[in-house]
Structure 1
Amino acid sequence: MGSPKLSVLGLGGALAPILFSSVTLVGAYMRPEYSHLDNFISELGATDTPNADIMNFIGFIPSGLLFVLFAISLLLFYARTTLAKAGTILLIVFGLGMALAGIYSCDPGCPPHGSPETTIHDQISAVTFISAIFGIVLLGISFKSSTPFKKLRNYSILSGIVAAILLVIMIDSFESRALTGIWQRLLLLTIFLWTTIIGSSIYDINKDW
């Protein structure tokens, strides 16, 4: 069991979405041609594009590290079963993947085929989303035996399922690039809302121990 002081790490699950979303909005505002409807968020950090460093070094990397801290808080306070530990490890992978996506940025426009860095970025992104989805589902199932989170079991499993559906829809839109940005944002919203609720709960439950 972790120190109650470390429960503040759980707030990473709430702070990361706020930071990432804010930087995305700022980055998009600085590019009048950018479309939230159709463009990937990664395009804001694409190699050699205007203000890419803002998206990568203020958005992707620190947000990813905050998600890692959030996952560590789960590991410290609640990951007692193999299922819970597996889900937590997948969330750590999710956070690291987000940070790495800011280091290995895609080519301008994030084309399906491009430089080696683009290939790495795409592979990291795939692993990142899949890890988050499976991590949420596994933790949701494990919440059945966790008194503090038992009431969030069904919500967690449903969140994972919804995120999986949105990921499939997003991938299906890659060829046309129609509404790809919307599907990606809805996918992230589903994940971000879950991390916010769980992270805030970790802090609230443990802060006064």
Structure 2
Amino acid sequence: MNGNFSRWYYFSGTLAPIWLLFGVIIAGSFYPEYSHFNQAMSELGAKGSPTHMLSPLLNNYPLGVLFILFGIGVIKTFSTSNMAMFSGALIVIHGLASFSAGFFSCDIACDLESPSTEQNIHNISGLVLFFSLFIASVIWVFISKRCIGVKWFEWFSLICSIVAIALLPLMAGAVESGVGFGLFQRLNYGSQALWILVFSIVLLRRNVHS
């Protein structure tokens, strides 16, 4: 793949986590009394919320484009490695799931007692969002040194994967207690977003020195 052109693909991966951070903060600022500590990010786009229309336009859709572009870049870069290309495909799937999660909103307060069909699709999209990046990061635990010659990225990918999975019980507990879910969800997704950020920077540096 052309070096100059590939940088745009990689830069999409660098931009996505930064966009996510500021997008959630900005959307939250238009939601009176919204709690980043207790409330899910999905509540920003929930039916009846003050940011129902704004949140997917500001977050889900542009993030979907950025993740898809980065995933395509990974696929094109590592065309000789099936596992690396599979990780790129998972990142593309993550981008598509971001579109789906934005288009299919959760119900008011994302109520889990009697969810609508639209919220069920939203919830499935959320599962795809998690597992797509989680599996992609696990893959690079095993192929990092072979594909990009960076052994420390194996350990970084492992740490991000462990953090993401370790936070799931805390998220489940927060759902029951009603306290801290927003924090644990952001740490969970943040660990995966950080993995994408570092991965894209590694590829950008590799591109410059190749």
TM-score above 0.5, yes or no: yes
Amino acid at match of 1:127: V
1:1-209 → structure 2 map (5 Å cutoff): 2-4=1-3, 5-78=5-78, 80-112=80-112, 113-207=114-208
Amino acid at match of 1:87: S
Deviates more, 1:186-195 or 1:165-174: 165-174
* Alpha-carbon separation, structure 1, partners of 2:80 and 2:151: 14
Higher relative contact order (CA 8 A, sep 6+): 1
* Alpha-carbon separation, structure 2, partners of 1:168 and 1:79: 37
How many Å apart are 1:79 and its aligned residue? 5.0
* Alignment deviations for residues 32-90 of structure 1 (CA, whole Å, 9 cap, x no partner): 32111110001001123212222101211111220111111111113532322222222
- Report the aligned-residue RMSD: 1.7
SS in 2 for 1:165: helix
* Alpha-carbon separation, structure 1, partners of 2:98 and 2:176: 23
Gaps of 5+ in 1: none
Deviates more, 1:182-191 or 1:144-153: 144-153
In 1, are the aligned partners of 2:31 and 2:49 still within 8 Å (CA)? no
SS in 2 for 1:35: coil
* Alpha-carbon separation, structure 2, partners of 1:106 and 1:200: 34
Deviates more, 1:31-40 or 1:146-155: 146-155
TM-score (norm 1): 0.92
- Amino-acid identity (%): 28
Gaps of 5+ in 2: none
SS in 2 for 1:105: coil
